[in-house]
Amino acid sequence: MNDTLLRSVLAGYDFPGEPTSVTEIKTGHINTTCRLTFREPAGTRDYLLQRINTFAFHKPEEVMENVTLVTEHLHRALVSRGMDPENRVLRVIPTREGRPLCYDTDGGAWRAYNFIAHAHSVDAVESPEQFGIVGRAFGDFQSMLSDFPIEKLHDTIPFFHDTIRRMDNFEASVARDVAGRAECAAEEIAFVRARREAMGRIVRMISDGTLPLRVTHNDTKCNNVMVDDVTGEALCVVDLDTVMAGSALYDFGDAIRFGASTAAEDERDLSKVRLDMDLFTAFTEGFVSRTARGLVRAELDNLVLGALVMTFEVGLRFLTDYLDGDVYFRIESPDHNLARAKCQFKLLSDMESHRAEMEAVVHDIVEKHL
Ligand SMILES: Nc1ncnc2c1ncn2[C@@H]1O[C@H](COP(=O)(O)OP(=O)(O)O)[C@@H](O)[C@H]1O
Ligand SMILES: [Mg+2]
């Protein structure tokens, strides 16, 4: 953390009291995050200060407009449910000029939030119970935002989950074959092509109005849920940079893809890559218990499709980047992106062969909560 830069940011805010410490939080991978502690007459108060990664987010002003609208809506929803919003929702702390962003002397964009106190996030779930709590947190998030005026959100990453467009881009990459790798990826290319029709269904159901647009978080990993240090219950969903209009199936599906897999995203021993049914069941129970009455039938009926499509889409992105010569994802070996694609496709194959079982689990849970 550069001291001069930090001082230039702090000067932009009107935090009450004296700053006593700045500690960097290293669990995230996208933004630079630190905890600021101030001494006030009544004790100490913490804030979260973050530099937005403008490589990932080209329009930080639009990101912050989305975050402000969504957090204000969540705040109102918590109050109307009789809950104290203080430690349960992010609140954007304005700069001295009343703005949500503060630019440092290098042009970096920073924002400040209330610090979610007496809480932590976990990088990997340790038990189905813990994953169930994460499911409830993202379910509550979805449900509290069910009456959000969706047209107000900026599309900060256009076509993010447009699976059909991603398949078209993929075909263009196969045709160009700039890195001369199409031959090494023949099996994976065939795997994608065989699923072209099936994996475009969510996009088509949004276009024809079968699926409604919802506020989607778009990064439903367990380390974006703050849980109470003492009770272990979820307090607050964080990391709202990717909130956009999308389908509830994306958030459900991506949480399953990432959190219910038995292996890391780039595991090379494919025999280790499977869907953990206990984790799947626990997350589904948590998520559906909070959303069953708010989602429409077409959403509840297609949750499993959400998990399949998100797994396909991420695999497709890795494969496309491999064919393009590794221009997007950071790699640690020349075939890293191909290994990642194989891993996602193995997970997808496992979901496909257990699809009936997954559908039955969802069906029973939905019926229980309707
Ligand atoms: N307002 C907050 N209060 C306390 N801790 C937070 C807050 N926001 C984020 N964190 C912690 O910092 C980590 C990184 O922040 P996050 O916004 O998720 O950044 P990234 O986009 O880099 O993942 C989170 O996983 C969480 O543990
Ligand atoms: Mg995060």
Residue nearest to atom 13 of ligand 1 (CA): 28
For residue 116, the ligand 1 atom closest to its alpha carbon is 3
Confidence of residue 1 (pLDDT cuts 50, 70, 90): low
CA of 234 to the centre of ligand 2 (A): 15
pLDDT per residue as tens digits for the range 84-141: 999 999 999 999 999 999 999 888 999 999 999 999 999 999 999 999 999 999 999 9
Q: Is 90 in the pocket of ligand 1 (CB under 6 A)?
A: yes
pLDDT for res 169: 98
CA of 189 to the centre of ligand 1 (A): 36
Q: Check: CB of residue 296 under 8 Å from CB of residue 366.
A: no
First to last CA, the chain: 50
Choosing from 45, 70, 226 the residue with most ligand 1 atoms within 8 A of its CB, the one to mutate for a pocket test is 226
pLDDT per residue as tens digits for the range 7-27: 899 999 999 888 899 999 887
The values of phi and psi at residue 93, to 5°, are -90, 120
CATH fit for domain 128-369, picks 3.90.1200.10, 3.40.50.1000, 1.10.443.10, 3.30.2310.20: 3.90.1200.10
CA of 224 to the centre of ligand 2 (A): 5
**Counts of helices then strands in the chain (DSSP H, E):** 13, 11
pLDDT per residue as tens digits for the range 280-329: 999 999 999 999 999 999 999 999 999 999 999 999 999 999 999 999 99
Cα separation of 233 and 225, whole Å? 10
3-class DSSP state of 8: helix
pLDDT per residue as tens digits for the range 19-48: 899 999 887 777 889 999 999 888 999 999
pLDDT for res 28: 72
Q: Give the pLDDT mean for 217-236.
A: 97
Choosing from 111, 224, 242 the residue with most ligand 1 atoms within 8 A of its CB, the one to mutate for a pocket test is 224
CATH fit for domain 3-117, picks 3.40.190.290, 1.10.357.10, 3.30.200.20, 3.50.50.60: 3.30.200.20
The pLDDT mean for the chain works out to 96
**Can you name the residues that pair with 214 across neighbouring β-strands?**
246
- Is the dihedral angle over the CA atoms 60, 62, 65, 70 positive or is it negative? negative
Q: Please state, as a whole number, how many other Cβ atoms lie within 10 Å of the Cβ of residue 42.
A: 7
**Token pair for 206:** 């949004």
Give 340's Cβ-side CA count (13 Å radius): 25
Domain ranges of the chain: 3-117, 128-369
pLDDT for res 258: 96
Confidence of residue 334 (pLDDT cuts 50, 70, 90): very high
Q: Residue 65 burial (CB < 10 Å; 0-12/13-18/19+)?
A: middle
Cα separation of 352 and 354, whole Å? 5
